[in-house]
Every structure is written in structure tokens, then in C-alpha cells.
Amino acid sequence: MGQDTLFITTAIDYTNSAPHIGHAYEKLLADVITRYQRSAGKKAYFLTGVDQHGQKVQQSAELEGIPAQEFADRNTAKFVEMWKLLGLEYNGWAATTHPQHKAVVQVILQKLFDQDQIYKATHTGYYSVRQEQFLTDKERNEEGEFGSEWGEVEERKEENYYFKLSEHVPWLKAFVADHPDFVYPAFRGKELVNALDKADAIDLCITRPKSRLEWGIEIPFDTGFVTFVWFDALINYISFAGYLKDQVQVATEGLPDFAELWPANAHIIGKDIMIPAHAVYWPIMLHAMGFADEEMPKLLVHGFWNDKGGAKLSKSLGNVIDPAERIERFGADGLRYYLMSAMATGKDADFNDSRIEEAYAHDLAGNLGNLLNRSLNMSKRYRASLLKKDADYDDDLNRELRDSFNKLPAAVAAHMENYQVHFALEEIWKSLTLCNQFVEHSAPWKLAKDEAEANRLDTVLYHLAEAMAQAAFHIAPVMPETSRRILEQLNFEFPADLKATDIKWGILPDGHTLGEGTPLFPRLEPLP
């Protein structure tokens, strides 16, 4: 099992539309967790991607008169471009039209079919010709009718293949009861327990006849059908992790070693796709495939970004947030900082443009950027940028600053291990505020005027530079580019094998020469 390497995945996004802020948040959370774990000395593998199959893609492509693959590719490119803008560094890219993925899906389906886990049955129900789908009671309006949005609704019979989901529900109930950490945060786990108790377990329809849907993976035991959604999209978590790589060798280049990665430490998903897809179908699928209880993945369920005032962001309300626009104004790191600091992992948050302006101006430009700038400038002005590490002076102000930074690695680690990125950032920013207070209380500009205070001035300047270096290390998972630029201005590089949890005061060597300071986060012109 994957004890050495942490395996972090995200949901794969549906390529029917362009990425929005919710997509960006989820991928960013995965990126930040992965980067942090690496900085703590662990190996980590970050998988994300796109779900390219499905009826909506087929329909949208038909509307435009282009092949489905071309339509999916075009939207896929939008996601790839956005993730580049946001500065994501993922190790694996799960695009469901990948030949290896398709082959693995088919092998899994054949195996389950041979084991009598999949059977054929006829479903009779109400069918919307316009939407090309069967309707359930949920689609009925308040009068109990199917509204005009469904067009002509007729009764129809259709043959399909079904997966024996219901057979495994008792196992899942027991598994969930025995593994309270299956879902994070805990209240989502309660939701799952209640859902399992209440719902009637029925089997899962896993195909569509080709007459209705062609844009999918053909099932191996009946060429008249394609698999749809579940045994396609969910399988990405293992097919792109190298599952069955030794037996299925269609296109295995670049795939990781499954035994090293699995089980996933965190499937990062939104609260909307937890039940039933990720918390019911997926563990049962794995169980049916022969995965043991200790080989089950863990779910990390995040909330939604809402509008100011809590209304949801949606196309129809015209209040969608385009990540690219915010990146253009605040930089990738500006948006990354806001998204990570303004949401408590697992809960909903309101996306607020005046808050992101304030966060940029106060937290980034003021507290952090200005602090670096004033620190470098004073060293340059008073000591020609030359640091003296062991000057013969110490006092409570110095000690307080050192204590704050010496305690930071453990504090950050505790929060990051619980995925509470916003608390980790808060801890780091408390130390930055302390640095600014330290400058005021030490008043280097006064020390510089008094030759008797020379040693003290050296220690103050060293403390500031050292603090900035350590801060650069700690913010790197959330703001990698800013971290790099701070170190560049400090004219310093950390040893590649330095672990976040091993950081101790005194990393900058005696006699180190600092670089030139330039604003990290320039003041922004007010919006019109």
C-alpha cells in the first residue's frame, strides 16, 4: 500500500463548459496540500484531469456540428490553460479518452461481468425525447407533472446493464461505521450514515444503448452499449494511478506505480458529488473489484463558494467568478492566498471582491511585501546588505521573534495535516505581524545613529532577514512564486532536502549578502 507516497486526487471536471472559481479552488487545495507534504519531506503524487465523455458533450458537439472529441479537446484546453495560469503542478493528468484508461475500464467491466456482478435488465419509465433521458419523480414539478422544459415525454422501455450495487450496501454500512475517518470533515460522514440508513438500495445502471449515447467507452461484452459516468469517470482514480498496468499495456508511459500510491490519501471533491457518487458508488465499486477495507481511499469534501450574501454562483444568475480575471489583477499568488485564507476547509464561503482587494493590500502588499522591502532597505542602508549573525547582543524583543518562528513549523504542520490551510496561514501571518512590531519597537533607524548600539542593530537586521527567509519557506505551498521572489531578493536558497518541520533559527549564514528589494505586490490602482 501507498505508505511512502501520498496520493492526492481531485474530481475530474466535466468538459461541457469552462472552469470557474469552484473548479479552481478544488485543484488549488490539492496543489497546496501536495506542495506542503513535499516540503515536509514526504513524497506526494497529485492527480487531476477532465471527464470528457457523456451525453452533454455529445449534444453540445452535435449542436456545433463538430466531432465530440474535438469539442472535448477544446474545452479540455481551457482547463489546462487555467491550471497553468493558477500555477498548479500536478503529476498526472486524467483525461478519460486516454486509451489506457479505456482499456482498464473494459478489463474491469469484463471481470465484474464474469463474476456475475453485472446483469442486463429492462427499465420502463418516462422518457424525455428532447433531453434524451429518463425522468424520475424528482423531475416532476409541484403539480406532479413533467414541465414543458422536458418537451414531449413518453413511456419507453430500454435494456441496459446494471451493477449489483445493492448487494454491497450492507458491507458499506459496516465499513462506514468502522471507519469514521473515511470522510472529512466529520459532519459529512454523519450525512453519509444517515443517507445509507434511509435510502432504498437499488442497483446501478451503468450503460447507455449506442442509439442514445455513442460518446463513451464501449462495454466489452456487448458492442451495442457504452458505459456511462460511473465506470468511466470514477475509475480515473485508479487507471491513472497505474492500476493493472502490468496486465493492460495499451499506453502505460508515464503512469506511476499503483502499489506505491494506493490507497488515495484524499479524494478532494465538492459536497455535491459526495452522495451517492464518491461515498456510495465508488467504495462499493472498489469493494466489488476486490479491494480490501484497508485499501479504501479517504474523501476530503469541500464546500462551495457563494456570492456575497450566500446566494449561489451560477450562470443563470450571472454572478460567476472567472479565476482568470482575478489572476490578472492580483496575480496567481494573490488569488491563491485569498482562496486559501478565506475558506474554512469543508465549509462554504462567500466570494467577496472587496475582501480580496483588502487581503491583497493589507496582508500581501502591507504586512508581507512592505516588511521584506523595509528589511532589505535598512540592511542595505546601514550595513551595505551584509549580515552579521553572531553579534554580541540579545534581548526580549529578539527572543520573542525567534520563539515565534521556532514554534511556527509545528503549528503550521498541525493545521496542514488537518487540511486547515486557513489556520496555517493565520499562524504565519501572526509571525509576520510580530516582525512589523519588532521593527517599530527596535527602531533600527535610531540604533543606526548611535555607535554604541552597533551590535544590537546587527542582531535586529539579522533577525528580520532570517524571519523573511523562514516566512518564504512556510508560504511556499500557498504562494510558490512569491516564495521564490522573496528568496531571490534575499539572495538565498534553502538546501533542497530541508524539511518544513526541521526549520530552526539561524539558517542564514554569517557574512551573507542580501539582494535588492523590489515590491512583491505593487499597489493596485482602485477599480473604477
Partner RNA sequence: GUCAGAGUAGCUCAGUGGUAGAGCAGAGGACUCAUAAGCCUUUGGUCGGGAGUUCAAAUCUCCCCUCUGGCACCA
Q: What part of residues 165-184 is at the interface with RNA (CB under 7 A)?
A: 165, 169
Contact by Cβ (8 Å): 217, 106: yes
Burial per residue of 349-387, b for 16 or more beta-carbon CB atoms within 10 angstroms, e otherwise: bbbbeeebbebbeebbbbebbebbbbbbebbbebbebeb
- Smallest gap, in angstroms, from Cβ of residue 136 to RNA? 5
- Smallest gap, in angstroms, from Cβ of residue 486 to RNA? 10
CA distances from 284 to 220, 246, 276 (A): 21, 24, 11
Residues numbered 214 to 243 that lie near RNA (CB under 7 A) are: 228-229, 233
Residue 144 touching RNA (CB under 7 A): no
Out of 90, 225, 492, 521, point to the residue binding RNA (CB under 7 A). 521
Query: In this chain, which stretch among 61-69, 108-116, 251-259, 359-367 interacts with RNA, using CB under 7 A?
Result: 359-367
- Smallest gap, in angstroms, from Cβ of residue 143 to RNA? 15
The span from the CA of 525 to the CA of 329, in Å, is 10
Q: What is the number of other CB atoms lying within 10 angstroms of the CB of residue 254?
A: 11
Residue 51 touching RNA (CB under 7 A): yes
Determine the length of the chain. 528
Residues numbered 288 to 307 that lie near RNA (CB under 7 A) are: 304, 306
In the bound state with RNA, the residue whose beta carbon lies nearer, of 37 and 236, is 236
The size of the interface with RNA (CB under 7 A), counted in residues, is 86
CA distances from 408 to 84, 234, 463, 499, 505 (A): 30, 38, 15, 13, 11
Residues numbered 78 to 137 that lie near RNA (CB under 7 A) are: 123, 125, 133-134, 136
Query: In this chain, which stretch among 174-182, 367-375, 386-394, 489-497 interacts with RNA, using CB under 7 A?
Result: 367-375
In the bound state with RNA, the residue whose beta carbon lies nearer, of 111 and 380, is 380
Out of 28, 280, 300, 467, point to the residue binding RNA (CB under 7 A). 280
Cis-peptide, bond into residue 185, ω within 30° of zero: yes
In the bound state with RNA, the residue whose beta carbon lies nearer, of 124 and 501, is 124
The span from the CA of 52 to the CA of 67, in Å, is 12
In the block, cell 474491469 appears at: 108
Out of 8, 10, 14, 264, point to the residue binding RNA (CB under 7 A). 14
Out of 99, 144, 309, 526, point to the residue binding RNA (CB under 7 A). 309
CA neighbor of 416 nearest in space, from 111, 37, 48: 37
Residue 381 touching RNA (CB under 7 A): yes
Residue 378 touching RNA (CB under 7 A): yes
Residue 194 touching RNA (CB under 7 A): yes
Residues numbered 384 to 403 that lie near RNA (CB under 7 A) are: none
Residue 195 touching RNA (CB under 7 A): yes
CA distances from 437 to 31, 39, 72, 396, 508 (A): 32, 28, 53, 13, 22
- Smallest gap, in angstroms, from Cβ of residue 4 to RNA? 32
As a whole number of angstroms, the longest Cα–Cα distance in the chain is 94
Residue 201 touching RNA (CB under 7 A): yes
Residue 55 touching RNA (CB under 7 A): yes
Contact by Cβ (8 Å): 365, 522: yes
The span from the CA of 216 to the CA of 97, in Å, is 8
H helices present in 40-160, as ranges = 55-64, 68-85, 99-114
- Smallest gap, in angstroms, from Cβ of residue 525 to RNA? 12
Residue 444 touching RNA (CB under 7 A): yes
Query: In this chain, which stretch among 258-266, 356-364, 388-396, 467-475 interacts with RNA, using CB under 7 A?
Result: 356-364
- Smallest gap, in angstroms, from Cβ of residue 145 to RNA? 17
In the block, cell 461515498 appears at: 279
Residue 407 touching RNA (CB under 7 A): no
CA neighbor of 378 nearest in space, from 489, 315, 275, 461: 461
